[in-house]
Amino acid sequence: MSIREIVPAEVAGLLAQGALFIDVREEHERAGGMAEGARGVAKATLEAQPAVHVADRSATVVLICQRGARSMQAAQALQAAGYTDIVSVVGGTSRWIEEGLPVVRPQLDADQRDFHERYSRHLLLPEVGVEGQRRLQAARVLVIGAGGLGSPAAYYLAAAGVGTLRIADDDVVDRSNLQRQILHTEARVGEPKVASAEQALLALNPRTKIEAVAERVTSANVERLLQGVDVVVDGADNFPARYLLNDACVKLGKPLVYGAVQRFEGQASVFDAGRHRGEAPCYRCLFPEPPPAEFAPNCAEAGVLGVLPGVIGLLQASEAIKLLLGIGEPLTGRLLNFDALSMRFREVRLKADPDCAVCAPGKPFPGYIDYAAFCAG
């Protein structure tokens, strides 16, 4: 039996005869306005538990969505479940509004309204939706460094709605930073970077809590910095900090989103050996020993294209968000190299080192070392 379709203007007549009117769009969509007389039940919810929402299988049920496709799919699902009088509104809520029919908006408090408006484009994504956005809101991310990589990573993590960003950096804003460190401004030269970062991020999204820690990461404070966080973003600019972060993340079972830049090239990866020993590599699996200093000059010595940390930092933010949401395929076991001059990406597969000094299965944590001496050779 085919599903009956009607135009919006015909709905009122059916409602006068006692029909049930259900808007099957998601909650965030309904927040923008619903056809008057409809009640909201998301399509997946209605299909999963139809009897909870429509007890009488012989009742007339009018379904509406945004344009008509989902309401027709839901109607077919209800019909298959034994409902005998299901109707779908052609053109959906969009046509309803175009024809000037009355619309009501759900009663939302100020916080709910801000949530739905601010994250509306995320809420449209099935992979995120309201539930995913709530997960981001409950998440805690540690960003080491408020410089070239930490700036774009933190900026987009705050924009995405990560609930708490803990940012650790003991440096102050220098005018030479402004070419690439987008959290900072001319007016804040000389201020602590974490204070400057906090000001910029709260101006962007006051819903995000910023924990500004004006400290350099060390063996003495690394576990305190990692306490309670879900993901660590490595925006450090030196090898001792990278090895320290790697070792602490393996010990504490935290995913580490790695990034590095130099001149016109950058790279990114996810090291998650702490949660997946023997399967996922750690930073030491890639670099068992640091390269000699002459082969790895920092940005102050070798220079860096200003936009390059933006590219890599955004890749890090993207990976962190995927890890928090549990979606997509993270860069675990893959090193992504980017050459800005040729505009090419190259991927290298990485394997866990069964003899790794830190993450080998069954190997006890060896303890923190003098990382500066280790990297100095």
Please, are residues 232 and 140 in contact by the beta-carbon 8 Å criterion? Answer: no
**Domain 4-107 is of which CATH architecture?**
3-Layer(aba) Sandwich (3.40)
Check whether 17 has a pLDDT greater than 90: yes
Tokens of 88: 């779908």
Q: Provide DSSP, 129-183.
A: HHHHHHHHHH-EEEEE-SSTTHHHHHHHHHHHT-SEEEEE---B--GGGGGT-TT
Query: Residues 98-122: what's their mean pLDDT?
Result: 89
220-273 pLDDT, tens digit each: 999 999 999 999 999 998 999 999 999 999 999 999 999 999 999 999 999 999
Q: Is the pTM of this model over 0.85?
A: no
Q: Which residue has the tokens 């030269």?
A: 189
* Contact between residue 308 and residue 147 where contact means Cβ atoms under 8 Å apart: no
Query: Is the pLDDT at 371 greater than 60, yes or no?
Result: yes
Q: Say yes or no to pLDDT of 294 above 60.
A: no
Burial class (CB in 10 A: 0-12, 13-18, 19+), 105: exposed
> Where do the domains of the chain lie?
4-107, 139-376
Q: Fold for domain 139-376?
A: Rossmann fold (3.40.50)
Q: Please report, for residues 201, 210, 266, the alpha-carbon distance to residue 204 in angstroms, rounded to integers and kept in the order given.
A: 5, 12, 27
| Across 278-287, average pLDDT | 95
What does the mean pLDDT of the chain come to? 94
Rounded to 5 degrees, φ, ψ at 292 are -55, 145
Give yes or no on whether 4-107 and 139-376 have one common fold.
Answer: no
Nearby residues of 11 by Cβ (< 8 Å), 6 or more positions away: 21, 35, 37, 62, 64, 89
What is the reported pLDDT for 299? 65
Q: Give the number of other CB atoms < 10 A from CB of residue 376.
A: 12
Q: Which pLDDT band, with edges at 50, 70 and 90, does 295 fall under?
A: low
